[in-house]
């Protein structure tokens, strides 16, 4: 005898699957918007506007906010709702200190691994894409290229745990927050540092690659530390 599914029991499962797919979609759209700078640090995410724009109910949007808060991309503020994460001056300083150690190691590993598999080809292709030119790039394009450059260095090093640690720092949030204040001279210094890091990696010099990356991040923080208080979230009292 052929058994039939019980509609009463099947419907809640189908509804739950549909809801889960909707939440995944909202999370993906908001995450991409945040990481691309379309939603800026400190911006309030209004559930009503998002439901109207996406043609969905508020339930999936609220669940998406909770998931993005767990990822560190969104803050849930009592009586204000969801806001794109906005870092304080101290938080930015702490992140740069962590980056110096972790990304210094990443550069060392990249230099050690440059001739394994397709690493040299992959790095050279990315370097040709992001290396400095005579034209001044808009800040958001510079930040996107900068992210690609650093991510590639971490990736070719081959240490998945290191890559996961760096991803968990949510560095794009910080970079888009401070990137709006970047001046052409800051970008020029960063390009010079990238040249030194790339040269050491391509030459297979691990110690030089690590030293160049550490210097680059210290010099980057020097100009970031001079930004006005308005560039940062106010420190809690």
pLDDT digits (tens, 9 = 90+) for 109-128: 999 999 999 999 999 999 99
Closest CA to 92 of 212, 203, 201, 235: 235
pLDDT confidence of residue 6: 45
Predicted structure pTM score: 0.79
Task: Give the least confident one: 9-23, 105-119, 163-177, 189-203.
Answer: 9-23
Closest CA to 84 of 28, 48, 33: 33
Q: Categorize the per-residue pLDDT at 8 as very low, low, confident or very high, splitting at 50, 70 and 90.
A: very low
Please report, for residues 29, 37, 83, 141, the alpha-carbon distance to residue 87 in angstroms, rounded to integers and kept in the order given.
22, 15, 12, 21
> Which helix (DSSP H) or strand (DSSP E) does residue 74 occupy?
strand 74-77
Q: Residue 14: pLDDT above 50?
A: no
pLDDT digits (tens, 9 = 90+) for 87-112: 999 999 999 999 999 999 999 999 99
Q: How many CA atoms lie within 13 A of 59 on its CB side?
A: 8
pLDDT confidence of residue 19: 60
Two structure tokens written together for 62: 């609220």
In CATH terms, the fold of domain 89-231 is: 1.20.120
In CATH terms, the fold of domain 7-84 is: Arc Repressor Mutant, subunit A (1.10.10)
Q: Residue 211: pLDDT above 50?
A: yes
Residue-range domain boundaries for the chain = 7-84, 89-231
Contact 231, 177 (CB under 8 A): yes
pLDDT confidence of residue 106: 98
pLDDT confidence of residue 2: 40
């Amino acid at each position: 005898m052929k058994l039939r599914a019980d509609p009463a029991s099947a419907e809640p499962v189908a509804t739950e699957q549909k809801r889960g797919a909707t939440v995944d979609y909202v999370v993906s759209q908001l995450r991409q918007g945040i990481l691309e700078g379309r939603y800026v640090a400190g911006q309030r995410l209004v559930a009503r506007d998002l439901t109207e724009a996406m043609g969905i109910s508020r339930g999936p949007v609220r669940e998406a906010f909770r998931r993005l808060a767990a990822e560190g991309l969104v803050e849930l503020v009592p009586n204000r709702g969801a806001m794109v994460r906005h870092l304080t001056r101290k938080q930015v300083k702490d992140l740069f200190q962590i980056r110096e150690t972790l990304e210094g190691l990443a550069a060392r590993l990249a230099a050690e691994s440059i001739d394994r598999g397709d690493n040299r080809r992959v790095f050279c292709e990315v370097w040709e894409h992001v290396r400095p030119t005579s034209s001044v790039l808009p800040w958001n394009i510079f930040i996107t290229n900068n992210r690609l450059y650093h991510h590639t260095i971490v990736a070719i090093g081959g240490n998945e745990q290191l890559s996961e640690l760096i991803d968990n720092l949510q560095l794009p949030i910080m970079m888009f927050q401070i990137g709006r204040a970047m001046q052409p001279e800051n970008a020029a210094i960063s390009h010079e540092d990238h040249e030194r890091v790339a040269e050491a990696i391509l030459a297979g010099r691990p110690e030089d690659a690590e030293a160049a990356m550490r210097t680059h991040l210290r010099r980057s923080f020097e100009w970031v530390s001079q930004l006005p208080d308005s560039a940062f979230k106010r420190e809690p009292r």
